Structure 1
Amino acid sequence: MTILLVDDNKVNLFVIEKILNSVGYNDSVSLTSAHELFDYLQIDAPNSSPKHVDLILLDIMMPEIDGIEACKILKANERYKDIPIIFVTALDDKNKLAEALDLGGIDYITKPIDKVELLARIRVALRLKAELDWHTQHEKKIQYELDLATNVQRSLLSPPLKDEKLQVEVSYLPSFNLAGDMYYWYKINDHRYAVILLDMMGHGISASLLCMFITSVLREAIKQIIDPVDVVKELNRYMAQLHNEKESIQYYFTAIYLVVDTEKRTIEYVNAGHPHGYVLLDETHIEPLNQGSCAIGFFEEIKVEKQIIHYEKEAQIVLFTDGLLEAIAPDESMSEVRIRNLSQQKWSDSQLLLDELLPKDKQSNQQDDMCLVLLNVQA
């Protein structure tokens, strides 16, 4: 346990050090100025290993750099800002003491030093430091686990697809490291592709955990079942298993699941309570993807109907989550019109379309996850 004693008066340092040694605080370091303090901590060497310090007893009245200024410098330093500081002063100036405490000092003791009072205040400060260290380590552990979970979740996302007859691109903007939006595509055979975009209720940790769970179910369902109606029903069956009557939370998600057949030139889809996607057919006609079922997870049994769209030569499909609607305009109906109008144009890059929908400065720090998927299909 390291306690730094900073005072330009060596007699005061000697007295405090003796008091500390008498009760077993033997790792104190005496320093006679703020400059010595900064040298000891290597403030000007940010790449050096930080010194472990549990507490600083800091005199206010010192030449060149006083205790208040020294405290201000320490609190501005990321490596040492959490070290508790107790001011030691002979001042009877309440304004100065208030300034010292406002800058980050946790307590003060006046000269001449009273042994009982000094040790009591040190014990309190060290308890606070121990609690702060525990919380810091706990936060680091949580952050490590969140980063790991983020990497796992991102690894489940499909890479861009650039086959001869189908190209899929995505612009994915989570509001948090862990997100509630998920997309996945799978090549069934040489001419059939399954694509899904889903949006789990909420966002953050709980939504991302549900996303990862449902993605594992989804991957198997798409490979074995394929048909949009049966896949949506299977996902609903698994979501229903999560419902706990003792909890008021109803887990659900919205989704668009579609199967593109470049041989038959068809797009089979189910929209499960999701914002309308749009398909531009042969550069002449646009249709909303707005039919199918309610959101997945609301009821144990749901009625699902798929729709089949035909195209002659090519089709462009634009899918998105409601976070994008909310970011474009406060009125989501206006956002829908904006997306529909732009979906009538040909796009080769999802990011170009996103930039047209939403300025760059609004593409970050949004309250909800945003995802835009662009598919271009050729016969």
Structure 2
Amino acid sequence: MKRTIRAEDWSDTDNVIQLLEQPYTPVPVMTNGFDTRTFAAQDQFAVWREAGTNIGIIDRPGAEVAPFRAAVRNYYTSTLAYSRHRAFDPSSLDRGDRHTAAVEVEAFAIQYRVSGTETANGFATGRYFTGGDIRIVDLSHPLFSVNPTYDNIAVIVRKQDLVDRVPALDRLHGATLPAGGMTALLRAHMVSAIDGLPALSQREADKLSDVTVEMLGAALSSATIPGIMEAEELDAPLLKAVRLCIEQHLHRPALSPDFIAHAVGVSRAKLFRVCRPFGRPMELVRHKRLQRAMALIRAARTGGRPATVTEIAYMVGFENRETFSRAFKAEFGLSARDALQLHLAQARTHPTHPAHPDPTG
């Protein structure tokens, strides 16, 4: 790994050689945590409860001074937090409106339950978190959970890092990922990440977090979660409004998901959910732009000077000809230049028969 040599280090050759010969020690990943068993038995629960003050109200059955065995370890990268919580005695967590209002957290906790089963929670799904499950918790929402014992691995990820990857983001709170290949891969990744982080440098941990975000996006976007798919038929009027907005503003190079969401009056997350049949909003925009470009090519007349490929590209919102040409060929299997020349040749051969019917009759 390369060292950074300061200008003043070049004052003499011997000094530089000594610097280069010194072993390089990477900055270790940022971490914190503790084990209550290192405290006196009567203080163990008080320590655990105090550590969770910013999360919610932690309670337990029985006397507060009774032993409470639990441990937590957190690792922090530039974009994610990884955490492992273990509690070997019963407890409950109540994260109410007071906590969510006091600490605004626009993030999700993706929780993998290694072992243990809830006996109560505040989710409407009616399902208790149990060993092998991966559950999605929106940290801006209240949370209630009761557990005899548990072992959890969690990844805390900002909503902004998932919104472009996951449709129906605003409906995921409390959802449990269904069994399947992607869920199994995500479980394995979370375990290997939490086990491997202690040996990583901060730079390596940051690279790992990029992989984790991609894994989360793939697993969450591919999951068919009950209660989400059933609602899609309700989105037909909204999809019609989205299509109309795109068609009216195709000429704008700056047409973006934020612009469309604002124009039709929905959240960015809801826009992505509505556009899911087409992939992402910008894929729908791209498709509409190319369809409009083909319509302009077919409308070109042989009399006078027809529009050039570059002009057509700008008319449908592409910022340069090269990007437009690549997209056009990928969509239709021939270049825009060839499509235009073919149409003009056909128009000259059959001047009284347009290459496409006039939709206005």
The verdict on a shared fold, with TM-score over 0.5 as the criterion, is no
Structure with bigger helix share is 2
Rg (Cα) greater in structure: 1
TM-score (norm 2): 0.28
